[in-house]
Structure 1
Amino acid sequence: MNKEKNIDPLTLSAIEARLESFNDELCARTVRQAFSMPTARIRDISSAILDSEARILTAGHYAPIHAAGTDISLKAIVDWIGRENIYPDDFILANDPYITKAGHLPDWSHVRPIFYEGELLFYHFMRTHVHDSGGAFPSTYAVRPYDCHAEGLIIPPVKIIERGVIDEKLYSVILKNVRGASMVRADNLLIYESMKKCEERILDMVRRYGKDVVIQSCNEIMRRTEETVRKEISTWKAGVFKAERAADWDGSYDQPVWVRLALTVKPEEGELIFDFSDTDPLVDFINVPWGVVLAFATTTTRWALSSDIRNLQGIHSCIKVIVKDGTALAPVYPYSNGAQSITLGSEVFECCQIAIAQAAPKENCGATWARKISPIFSGKFRDRIDPRTNSMETYWTSPFNSDGGTGAPWGYDGTDGLGHAPAAGASVRAPIEVEETLVPYRWLHCEMLTDSAGDGQWRGGLGVHVEYLNCHDPETWRPLDCCVITGNSDGQKFPPHGLFGGTDGKRHELWIKRGDKLLPLRTMDTQYVRPGDIIGTKSGGGGGIGGPLDRDVEKVRWDVLNQYISPKKAHDIYGVVIDSKSFAVNYEATVKLRKKLKAQKKAREKN
């Protein structure tokens, strides 16, 4: 990429900031007004502005699951439709993971081309989890699908709006095959109109600065980012660094599913090669499209850079991602991928973090996060009839209240209950009060878990204990009316991973309490529940980083005082002696205990 000359630094900064602001505005408008529960209450959404060559200019501040691989998806969408068939005021939908190489079926890609004086300059791209996309169960997380068609309606790239006119015949076929069609339609058109508003702002910017200056600035932003990324990678260790992590299972065959990564670092070239060729073969339900793998390699690389890197295309220019046909990271029709990014995708993310930590400066690295755990509740209200349609009311929700803590980054403790790494902290918990008005459940517990995080010089964020009581009216309830789905949950077998002497976090726990009996509930499962049943979860905390015996004594005291850790753990793991009544630290005893524990650790390592 050639260096663009004669660009005023202030103009360059202003154009970059405006593009970022316009893009974030699209997500903000959608989150505030959408009907879709994952979009509005969880923020399962992201957007990007790309140039006419499908290069990412800005990807905003929402979920990298959706944003970091948008260039791959957009190129495929444009190729499918044909560049010559794209016009002003078109609006394109797609969710076919075999074409877009991203997402599961509820993750709909929305694309709007932006023309200026007859010339295509940009694309605005949004992907979000819509209210419904068809399939056997709401949410697409029901395990053991027969094939991809059981998970929902597959939509190749289609223009539901061409030159500003809705194709009602085509659109009606799509809407006839989803639940809550009026809400899906409203959200689609909300995105369409919001994109139009953002287009107005972008074109105002082009008119103000001039087309040539804007295009030159975009090229310069990408060039500078690539230059910065290559310079940073040049300080990393050269070599091949390996990592492997496994999902609990795929919901069908009771064996772990392994992701294996060989990361080649080439400092002289400023290049990273993520090779996942040794990953397990294709499985059911949790296969991960290649674009998602690229998104997670990009995100973890971005996390390990010390500079404030906002342009993802500059990172893409410095990395290469290899997946092998026939493996779980290269799904082909009709293999399903309903749980892709938040189950096996988490293992992709973890492998990248662990491999990068072997090469990058440790100050830029972090331990792995707790994996996703968020039971989905779906079902029917037989006594609630919509007078407009004479049909019963249905419900589904996945409130994210059970999510565990983040891994500790070097120099900082992890964040409590923030969620799984692929969302990168962008998702939020749905408000409990809102959820209780919409589903027949009452939250009995929602509290942080003492001793759930991995230990270290900086500890992981805490996990969470949540219990949900099924309050469905027993007079109207029928068998199969209330379903709990854990197809979006993983981590009962494999805990978050600590780094540089830090310890692992806790594994997840799930159960159903029916009267006096505790019934098992697994990840990747579907169970029917009754009124009075209690669904319980205990999520693990994130991994720790650095040796626990090096943790600041006052931080250990604070953790005990606030019940983040128990006095026993403070003594046995951190080597800090604290009075259980006054919470005062016995510094003399602490020095002796830490010296003893370090000697024991050294002896174990020697043996």
Structure 2
Amino acid sequence: MDIVTYEILRSSLYATAREMKLAMMRTAGSPIVHSGGDASAAVFDAEMQLVAQGNDIPTMLGSAVISTRASVEAIGRDRLRPGDVIVSNDVYLGGGNHQPDVQFTRPVFVDGAIVAFVMTRGHWSDIGGQLPGSYTTQTWDVFAEGIRIPPVLLYRDDRPVEDLMTIILQNTRDPAVRLLDVQSQYAGCVVGDRRIAAIARRHGPAALAEAMRRALDHSERLMREAIRAIPDGTYEAEDELEPVSGPPGWPTAPIPLRVKVTKAGESIHFDYAGTGAQTRGGINCPLSVTCNSTWFTVKAITDVTIPINQGCYRPVTIAAPEGSVVNCSFPAPVVAGNTETSPRIIDLLLKALAPAMPDRVVGQSNCGAFSGLFGGMDPDEARVAATGRRYVGVIDPHAGGMGARATKDGVNGVRVYVGNAGSTSVEIIEQTSPLTVEEWSLVPDTGGAGEWRGGLTSRRVYRVGYGEATFTACGERGIHPPLGQFGGAAGSTFVCEVRRGEAVTHVPAKGSHEIVHAGDVVLLQPAGAGGYGDPRRRDRARLLDDLKDGYVTPEALTRDYGLTPQDAAALCVEAADV
């Protein structure tokens, strides 16, 4: 195959994945999908190897390497026919990442043979379970986290399997909106099917298969070259994972996280031996999530321009003890392992690899989705009449700080690592729910001091308009702050409060829910991020800009950056003159 034809075919695969994602966002019912983009799409070859993906959600796409094969093998390849769609969200039977992320897998047939598979995955705003939003960590087992869907056929010959559809939808709190999400993911699969089939008919199935094979081999070759540049050696790190705040009798000790990284030549091995056993509460990671976190880290510290597909992961091997918090066994709950524990694994790996690649690592980051979830009945009769929905659930992922880098400050108010969906816009929240967002701001001094400053976190404050509702917070770094690199200071920890008049309830990062009523105020503030390098070496001009922008307070100049009171006062005068 000539290089021009190959590049046309390869680029067409990535374009197909992007178009599938857009089809989902334009038709989904959940704001977290159509506004926040918490959805992904990918193309797999006939042997279920990931060959192309969109610039979507890394935690969905890495785990799909495992879940797509599990879905097809569970149904049986020989049973599949055109127009079929497999649905699955089960971590244990389907290789998923957590139950709110639901995967659709569709075979692409040309001339009676499977030439590819296409996959869509979306975060459903509710999947049933113990609490509205399906996102509490205070769960005894996986059954409390929502309906488990093993790999089963949801569409047969492009027609929904109605009885199964009814069972799934009626086990969620807003079935009408869930139906829109189902149809959006089906639409994404149909778009992918049509595009891949058209490519195969134009160029031939053999040419398509050859382009897929070359794409995998090309990414593998580039990744091996990038890994070869890492100094050979063994690198180790350890950290502690914060436990779930549970009732009396629940574990209260931190869970150890440990890794040994062995780099030799063009391959790299990660061994998580010594990591603590799986624990009570939904912070455990299935193996698919730990693999994805590891693959993500390798990609991030090497060469981000390498086309992402399964070939990138071939030089990487992983060992994770079964029954541990990084490879949990049934029926351990997992909902926040995907969003809160997974970034902690990435920070652990960056800590281990910092001596080998100091210019590629960053200070520790906010490490979580920091979702605020509300669920209850809408008292606004006009909105109920307009939407036809009495029950209203809101899931709002938040933005914290990203760690500072070797040559740049961290990023303010951003989702990091494997969960890069956007926060829900204020306009959508206030238009569709009985909530008012009274504040959305960056919080000064929450980024760790350093020669390069850690990113600031953001704060959202809601005023409740529900007559009565549940509020659940799910976050990370409520106890252990995000540390800096090479002398950089730590960022701030997670803060969440419910204010009822003069009374203030402090909500832990990993705990139960609160009942809120009209007039209550909820503050949610994710963790900040660590700095990079000695704060005393920060450039004076950058400190001046920080003051002007409100990123640091005058008190931080002496406390965090080591300025004398006289120099700090002079800098404040200069900032005030602008």
TM-score computed with the length of structure 1 as normaliser: 0.88
Equivalent position to 2:135, from 123, 141, 150: 141
Distance 1:76 1:518, change over 3 A: same
Whole-Å Cα distance in 1 between the matches of residues 87 and 177 of structure 2? 16
Partner of 2:5, secondary structure, is: helix
Asked if the contact 2:380–2:434 (Cα under 8 Å) also holds between the matched residues in 1, the reply is no
Partner of 1:560: 547
Partner of 1:502: 488
Equivalent position to 1:329, from 326, 329, 333: 326
One-letter identity of the residue aligned with 1:278: G
Partner of 1:140, secondary structure, is: coil
Partner of 1:170: 164
Equivalent position to 1:350, from 347, 352, 357: 347
Partner of 2:378, secondary structure, is: strand
One-letter identity of the residue aligned with 1:548: P
Asked if the contact 1:260–1:278 (Cα under 8 Å) also holds between the matched residues in 2, the reply is yes
One-letter identity of the residue aligned with 2:515: Y
One-letter identity of the residue aligned with 2:139: P
**Per-residue deviation at 1:91?**
0.6
Asked if the contact 2:454–2:529 (Cα under 8 Å) also holds between the matched residues in 1, the reply is yes
Equivalent position to 2:530, from 543, 550, 557: 543
Equivalent position to 2:407, from 408, 411, 423: 411
Equivalent position to 1:105, from 84, 93, 99: 99
Equivalent position to 1:12, from 6, 29, 39: 6
Equivalent position to 2:52, from 48, 52, 58: 58
Q: Is there any run of 5+ residues in structure 2 with no aligned partner, and where?
A: none
Partner of 1:155: 149
**Per-residue deviation at 1:76?**
1.1
Moved more, 293-302 or 238-247: 238-247
Asked if the contact 2:234–2:263 (Cα under 8 Å) also holds between the matched residues in 1, the reply is no
Distance 1:581 1:338, change over 3 A: closer
Partner of 2:185, secondary structure, is: helix
One-letter identity of the residue aligned with 1:403: A
Whole-Å Cα distance in 2 between the matches of residues 411 and 436 of structure 1? 39
**Per-residue deviation at 1:575?**
4.7
Distance 1:405 1:582, change over 3 A: same
Asked if the contact 2:120–2:189 (Cα under 8 Å) also holds between the matched residues in 1, the reply is no
**Per-residue deviation at 1:462?**
0.7
Q: Does 1:260 align with 2:265?
A: no
Equivalent position to 2:277, from 281, 294, 298: 281
Asked if the contact 2:413–2:455 (Cα under 8 Å) also holds between the matched residues in 1, the reply is yes
Asked if the contact 2:219–2:311 (Cα under 8 Å) also holds between the matched residues in 1, the reply is yes
Whole-Å Cα distance in 2 between the matches of residues 132 and 144 of structure 1? 17
Partner of 2:301: 304
Whole-Å Cα distance in 1 between the matches of residues 383 and 497 of structure 2? 34
Which whole-Å deviations, capped at 9, do the CAs of 1:544-565 have from their partners, x for residues lacking one?
1222233333222211221111
Partner of 1:489: 475
Q: Does 1:583 align with 2:569?
A: no
Q: Does 1:463 align with 2:492?
A: no
Asked if the contact 1:238–1:264 (Cα under 8 Å) also holds between the matched residues in 2, the reply is no
Partner of 1:61, secondary structure, is: coil
Partner of 1:458, secondary structure, is: coil
One-letter identity of the residue aligned with 2:46: S
Equivalent position to 2:504, from 518, 541, 559: 518
Moved more, 508-517 or 149-158: 508-517
Whole-Å Cα distance in 2 between the matches of residues 132 and 537 of structure 1? 20
Which whole-Å deviations, capped at 9, do the CAs of 1:8-37 have from their partners, x for residues lacking one?
222222222211111011111211221023
One-letter identity of the residue aligned with 1:113: P
Q: Does 1:217 align with 2:216?
A: no
The number of residues matched between the two structures is 565
Partner of 1:192: 186
Partner of 2:112: 118
Partner of 2:86, secondary structure, is: strand
**Per-residue deviation at 1:378?**
1.5
Partner of 1:337, secondary structure, is: coil
Partner of 1:294: 291
Equivalent position to 2:317, from 311, 320, 339: 320
Whole-Å Cα distance in 1 between the matches of residues 170 and 422 of structure 2? 31
Whole-Å Cα distance in 2 between the matches of residues 166 and 484 of structure 1? 34
**Per-residue deviation at 1:386?**
10
Asked if the contact 1:385–1:393 (Cα under 8 Å) also holds between the matched residues in 2, the reply is no
**Per-residue deviation at 1:574?**
3.4
Asked if the contact 1:55–1:313 (Cα under 8 Å) also holds between the matched residues in 2, the reply is yes
Give runs of aligned pairs for residues 28-107 of structure 1, distance below 5 A: 28-107=22-101
Query: In percent, how many aligned pairs have the same letter?
Result: 24
Distance 1:410 1:213, change over 3 A: farther
Give runs of aligned pairs for residues 398-437 of structure 1, distance below 5 A: 398-400=395-397, 402-423=398-419, 426-437=420-431
Whole-Å Cα distance in 1 between the matches of residues 262 and 309 of structure 2? 19
Which whole-Å deviations, capped at 9, do the CAs of 1:245-271 have from their partners, x for residues lacking one?
333322323525435232323332x11
